[in-house]
Chains A and B, each alone.
Chain A
Amino acid sequence: MLFNSLTFVVFFVIVVTLYWSIGSWTARKNLLVVASYIFYGAWNPPFAALLFSTTAMDFWLGRQIGKAKDRHKRRVWLVASVCMNLSMLGFFKYGNFLLQNFQWLLAHIGIIYQPPHLDILLPVGISFYTFHSLSYTLDIYRGVLQPTRSLRDFILAVSFFPQLVAGPIVRAGDFLPQLVRPQPLRAGQFLWGVAMMTLGLFEKIVLADTLLSGSADRVFGYAGPLVALDSWAGVIAFAGQIFFDFAGYSTCAIGAALTLGFHLKDNFRFPYAAIGFSDFWRRWHISLSTFLRDYLYIPLGGNQVRPFRAALNLVIVMFLGGLWHGAAWTFVVWGLLHGSYLVIERVSRILFEDKAWANNLATRILAGAATYAAVCIAWVYFRASDFTIASRMLGGMFGQHTHGDAILSTREMLQVALVTIGMISVHCSLRDSNIETAVTRLPRWIVTAAWALMACAIILTQGTSNAFIYFQF
């Protein structure tokens, strides 16, 4: 079920009420397991069985890795876990994509092959829960985590409903320790959780769905050439939409977890105030970028290797990061673009880091603006469903369609402009801080008014149950 649906409101109230009225910690955890499976099964009940089977397999494989004394055996069990998780992901998410590309390759060598179209329904959130589960066996193999004895605890770590379908990617090592002893009900923590849920829903329902998505959808869905103003407005609208959509989900997840006494780490840290691309990736989808860093980039050698190899590592990681987002070449190009940005940034650092002008305010502002613009350009490939649309959009953005059409109303452009200015101002002002510090420092009446205003705006918008963009990943 979606956070922005009536079903979730009722479900959440029931779960929270029962959770805090039960005294036994074991019963509470059992309740959360049942609730999480109801939450997930409400999309498509059979997929709950799939979730359980992969979880149970990883639990068993984790124990085998933990038990094995011999390094070779540990490796075998780990390979089994990695293969099981990735093949599940590969079948459901990349099955048709791989078949299509195989067909294309064969056609190029003169073999006509018509693959059957696999009518595969993508289990919602499979990319997320696969990584939740995989982190467990990986960390046991690395020796940073001991296998848990409780299957129930591990099931809960993988399927905990606030973060189950669209992240943050919570590693078992971060979550399992929280299941050891119960947290008492603290009014401040509970209400701060509710406030974060309000903020997350406001970001999703009001900012992403109401104020930005219409412009982005119209621009990317238009079949003809557009003038530069509309093209840029559409791309900037999407840049805001995807941030508010995904950050909104993460904020809701963190808030919902807090109301139940669990602590999830930040997934976004004001990314549009980033100066440079490595800074951007330290602020955007932090749980994925740290996952890729720890389990892929560093093991590949990270930046402790020759510069060329380090650059190649970056590109490989971003290529796979792009592919993780979706089974399409547009996502791959998006990932590769970010990989190239990171390489260019690294080269620039080597060349100019020592220069006095490189760290002055003007350069930093320019670098921040350039980062934002480059990220927006990359979003074109992320949002466009094919390369024709992406090329047409880029053509429009860079003035190739001087006689193109104008399709956005003045109101839509004003909405995009105002929300974007507001978003970037907030990101810049909180760049080196966090939301908790801002709430502490602001006058109480402003925090109260903002909270009430967000709640009223959510009610006024009546949340039309648009799915979160990241559900499809």
Chain B
Amino acid sequence: MRSFISNFKERLRLPRLFFRKPSRAEQIHGGPPLEFERPIPPVPWRGMAVVVVLVVITASVGWELYCRAIGYGPTLNDNEDLWTLRRRAVTPESIVIIGDSRGWFDLDLDELQKGLGKRPVQLAMGGGCGYPLLANLAKDESFHGTIICSVVPRLFFAPPGTPPMERAEKAVKRFHSQTPAQRASQYLAFPLEEQVAFLKQEELTLDDLLKRLPIPNRPGALVPPRLPPYFGTLDCERRARMIEACARPGSELAQRIQQIWIPLFTPPPPPTYIPKEQFVAKIGEAIGNRFRDITIAVEKIRSRGGKIVFVRFPHSGGLKELEDRETPRAKTWDPLLKMTGAPGIYYSDFPELAGFNCPEWSHLSAGDSVEFSKRLIPHLRTALKM
């Protein structure tokens, strides 16, 4: 009797694989029975299509008018593709702004161009950690320009795997892997987003609208805090400006956003599945590693003749109290400057920078950002020895 294995081997021999003799009807090219035709439902397609087009146009126009009526205006969406377009604009000698949304809202590119002699490239991102881009620029052997790095400790020292890190890493990854199709989509999106107010990817999508439904959660459910609503516009250079409805002192929108920052900037409770001491040690280690990595990146850039300055931008109210308590200057800012040996500008150290009020506690209004940039320039020139 033949063994199972030899039988099996025989079965696997290619000639045996295709032993089925096809019928005569199957031996064809270009005729039945392999031809297949899908059924088309016998309904009045033209009339239905006209109605659908009319409904879609009417609904879109109605939605656009409603969005404008409640304060939304057309603006570009900040996404990885727009960021990548700006990243591609970085030349070896560029001045580059990196970090979080404060570097994004509070710096005016026109003023910086006047004061520093070059138009900076805006690469800071809302809710993002500056480190991945710092590392990316450090890795770029051709880069020996100037970096203005905004520091919000909770974001800048965010451990790997957290949303600020993931957001920034996703953008850097897109810079390296952007396909021609993604690039083309971004160019096609410009004219649409500049004209249509409801095209807001983190604000007016179905998902965002559903998130606003007032449905209570289970007690103890670990649900992420809400993100702030729309309060700024963005142009194709990624210059962010606060909208007037938020910039008005004491406005309802500004107050609403203030209450959103607090849970967003409050450290989450330690996870239940790791002992607290272990978790604290792990976070401590991650922060230590971040200090080390930042120092290495800064050294690399400086060794090629590049320059970097860290900037702490104005913030106020309850958010300032929270940041001062959770991420005190002595444990974040001071060691950062000490370890990297890089210059830093802490807004509250200089009276001319300290007097600005942030309407929603975290960013300057569009008007104030221009004045702040003007006043910041001498400090930048000194720090960067320009």
Contact = CB atoms under 8 A, between A and B. Distances in A.
Interface stretch (B30-38, B113-121, B374-382): B30-38
A2 B180 CA distance: 12
Interface stretch (B94-102, B151-159, B198-206, B348-356): B198-206
Contacts of A437: 41
A148 interface: yes
Contacts of A436: 38-41
A191 B17 contact: no
Interface stretch (A110-118, A156-164, A174-182, A376-384): A174-182
Interface string B191-213: 01000001111001111011101
B20 interface: yes
Best-buried of A148, A174, A437, A455 by chain B (most CB within 10 Å): A455
Interface stretch (A97-105, A282-290, A421-429, A459-467): A459-467
A410 B20 contact: no
B215 A411 contact: yes
Given A187-B46, A299-B19, A42 B184 contact: yes
B215 A414 contact: yes
Interface in B141-188: 179-182, 184-185, 188
B21 interface: yes
Nearest to A457: B206
A10 B34 contact: no
Contacts of B20: 142, 298-299
A462 B222 contact: no
Interface string B40-76: 1111111011011001100110010000000000000
A59 to B, nearest CB: 14
Contacts of A460: 63, 198, 204-206, 209
A10 B222 contact: no
Contacts of A10: 188
Nearest to A294: B20
Contacts of B201: 462, 464
B11 interface: yes
A399 interface: no
Interface stretch (A74-82, A318-326, A349-357): A74-82
B222 A405 contact: yes
Interface string B117-145: 00000000000000000000000000000
Nearest to B81: A465
Nearest to B180: A42
A71 B273 CA distance: 64
Interface residues of B toward A: which range?
35 or more
A192 B41 contact: yes
A265 B36 CA distance: 8
A441 to B, nearest CB: 9
A143 B22 CA distance: 6
Contact of B206 (A189, A258, A461): A461
A174 B21 CA distance: 19
Q: Per DSSP, are chain B's interface residues mostly helix, strand or loop, or mixed? A: loop
B189 interface: yes
A302 to B, nearest CB: 10
Nearest to A262: B38
Interface in A124-161: 138, 141-146, 148
A444 B216 contact: no
Interface in A412-462: 414-415, 434, 436-437, 439-440, 444, 447-448, 451-452, 455-457, 459-462
A405 B272 contact: yes
Contacts of B14: 75, 78-79, 82
Nearest to B218: A406
A194 interface: yes
Nearest to B216: A410
Given A5-B185, A459-B60, A41 B38 contact: no
A439 B56 CA distance: 20
A415 B210 CA distance: 9
Given A407-B221, A455-B52, A177 B182 contact: no
A39 B215 CA distance: 43
Contacts of B48: 191, 444, 447-448, 451
A23 interface: no
A178 B29 CA distance: 10
Contact of A145 (B29, B41, B63, B192): B29
A90 interface: no
Interface string B1-37: 0000000000110111111111000111111001111
A408 B26 CA distance: 54
Nearest to A453: B55
B278 interface: no
Nearest to B38: A263
B179 to A, nearest CB: 5
B49 to A, nearest CB: 5
Contacts of B267: none
A43 B181 contact: yes
B31 A214 contact: no
Contacts of A173: 34
B29 A455 contact: no
B223 interface: yes
B275 interface: no
Interface string A35-75: 00000011111000000000000000000000000010001
Interface of A: 1-2, 5-8, 10, 41-45, 71, 75, 78-79, 82, 138, 141-146, 148, 173-174, 176-178, 180, 186-189, 191-192, 194-195, 206, 210, 214, 223-225, 254, 258, 263-265, 295-296, 298-301, 403-411, 414-415, 434, 436-437, 439-440, 444, 447-448, 451-452, 455-457, 459-462, 464-465
Given A263-B36, A411-B210, 10 more contacts: A41-B180, A144-B26, A145-B28, A146-B29, A188-B41, A188-B42, A192-B45, A210-B205, A295-B18, A452-B59
6 contacts: A8-B181, A143-B21, A187-B46, A210-B210, A254-B38, A436-B41
